[in-house]
Structure 1
Amino acid sequence: MITTENAFWDMVVFIFPIVLLINLLRKKTITEHLVIIITTIYLFGLIAVTIFPVPIDSKIMVEYKKQGFGASINFVPFRSIMGSLNHSYFMVGLRNVLGNLLLLLPFGILIGYKRLNKSMIINIGIGLASSIVIELAQWVLTDRYFIFPRSVDIDDLILNTIGFTFGYLIYMVANKIFKNTRKTRILRGISRGH
C-alpha cells in the first residue's frame, strides 16, 4: 500500500528536484522562487492527504467491491460536522473539522498573494471550485476502486471553503498592515528630511 506519508516523500524526492531545477533556471525574485517552492510542497501534501492511501494489491480493491464498499456521500449540510463533534472521542471531530478548515487555508493565502482577481467573491469561488474538484476526484477514484473508500461530503466543501476564505483574508489583512507600516516608515523618513 502507498501510504499518505510515503506518497508525500516520494513526490518530494522524485518530483521536487525537477520543479526546483526548472524554477531556478527562470529569472525570478527570491520571493517568487520561495512562493513556487512552498506552493509545490503544499500541493504535494494536498495530493497526499486527499488521495492516498492507495492499495498496491488490486485483490484488496476487488474484495472491497465484492463487499459493496464505496464512497459514502452526504449532501445534508452540517450532518457529518455534528456527528464528528458528538463522537465519543473528541479528537475525531476536532481532526475532521480542523483538518478540513486547514486543508485549503494555504491555498487562500496563495490566491491572495497572486491577486488572480480583485473580487473577493470570485476568489472564494476559486476556493469552492478547488474543494469540489477534490471531492469529485475522491468520489471517482473511490467509485473506480483506485483508492480506499473515501467520503464525499457537503460539509467538507463548507469547511474547505471557509478555510480558504480565512487564508485569503489573513493574507489581505497582513498585506494591508505591512503596506501601512511601510508607508508610515517612508513618511517618517521624509518628514525627518532623510
Structure 2
Amino acid sequence: MVQLWRAFGHLVPLFLIIVLGVSVITYFVSKKRKSDRVIVNLLFIFSIIGILLVTVYPNAYGPGMPRVVNIVPLVGMYNILFHSVDITIPIRNLGLNILLFVPFGFFLTLKTSSFQRKLNLFVILTGFIFSLFIETVQFAIPMGRSSDIDDVILNTIGTFLGYIIWKLFNSKSSSISSFKETSNGKM
C-alpha cells in the first residue's frame, strides 16, 4: 500500500472529485432514462477492476514471499491509530481502505435498487464477501501482500458508505421530484 501511495498519492483528491462527479451524474442519468443501465453496469465493472488492481496487484511475486495474516479484529486499526508517528499513516491505510469500496457500494446499490427488498443487507453482504475473497487471494498467492481482517471490516464499511450515499441521493432526488410535481400541479 505504501508503494501505491507514493506513486498515486497526489492523485487521490482528483480521484475523489472524479468519483463523486461521475457518481452524481450517473445517478441522475440512470434515474431519467432506464435504458442507460449500460453505463451503470460499466461503472460497476470499472469499480471492481479498480479494486482488484489496487488490492491484488502484486508488490512482488514468488514462492519465497512471506504470507502475513492478521485474524484478530481491530488490533491493527488500533495500532495504526494510536501508535503511528505520522498522521498521514492512519489516513492512508484506514481511509483508503474505506474509500476504495465506496464506488463499489454506490454502483452496486444503483444497479440492484429496483429489484432488492432488503437492499442494505444485500449490499453489505456482497461487499463483505468480495472483500473476504480479496483477502483470501492475498493470502493464498505469494505476492508480498498481507491478509488482514481489519481490511475486510474497513472495506465493508466503505461498501456501506456507498449505499448511504446512494440513499442520500435517492431521497434528495425523490424530494425534488415530488416538489416539482406539487408545484406544477398548483400552477
Task: Name the TM-score class by shorter chain.
Answer: 0.7 to 0.9
The worse-fitting range, judged by mean Cα deviation, of 176-185 and 45-54 is 45-54
Percent pairwise identity: 26
Measure the CA separation in 1 of the matches of 2:129 and 2:163.
15
> Residues 74 and 124 (structure 1 numbering): CA distance in 2 closer, same or farther, change over 3 Å?
same
How large is the Cα RMSD of the aligned pairs?
A: 2.3
> Residues 33 and 172 (structure 1 numbering): CA distance in 2 closer, same or farther, change over 3 Å?
same
Measure the CA separation in 2 of the matches of 1:83 and 1:54.
23
What's the CA shift for 1:184?
A: 1.1
> Residues 168 and 141 (structure 1 numbering): CA distance in 2 closer, same or farther, change over 3 Å?
same
Measure the CA separation in 2 of the matches of 1:111 and 1:37.
11
Q: 2:137 is aligned with what amino acid?
A: A
Deviations 1:70-91 (A, max 9, x none): 2211111111112222211222
Measure the CA separation in 1 of the matches of 2:121 and 2:40.
24
Measure the CA separation in 2 of the matches of 1:45 and 1:126.
17
For 1:85-164, list aligned pairs within 5 A: 85=81, 86-114=83-111, 115=113, 117-119=116-118, 120-142=120-142, 147=143, 149-164=144-159
* Alignment equivalent of 2:46, drawn from 23, 41, 50: 41
Q: Match of 1:82?
A: 78
Aligned-partner SS, 1:73? strand
Q: Match of 1:52?
A: 57
Q: 2:151 is aligned with what amino acid?
A: D
Aligned-partner SS, 1:61? coil
Q: Match of 2:11?
A: none
Measure the CA separation in 2 of the matches of 1:41 and 1:130.
15
Measure the CA separation in 2 of the matches of 1:127 and 1:61.
29
Structure number with greater Rg is 1
1:172 aligns with 2:167: yes
What's the CA shift for 1:168?
A: 0.5
Aligned-partner SS, 1:104? helix
Give ranges in structure 1 of 5+ residues lacking alignment. 6-27
Measure the CA separation in 1 of the matches of 2:34 and 2:124.
28
Aligned-partner SS, 1:53? coil
CA contact (8 A) 1:117 1:123 kept: no
Measure the CA separation in 2 of the matches of 1:30 and 1:175.
18
Deviations 1:132-179 (A, max 9, x none): 11111111112xxxx2x2111111111111111111011012111101
Measure the CA separation in 1 of the matches of 2:116 and 2:130.
16
Give ranges in structure 2 of 5+ residues lacking alignment. 8-32
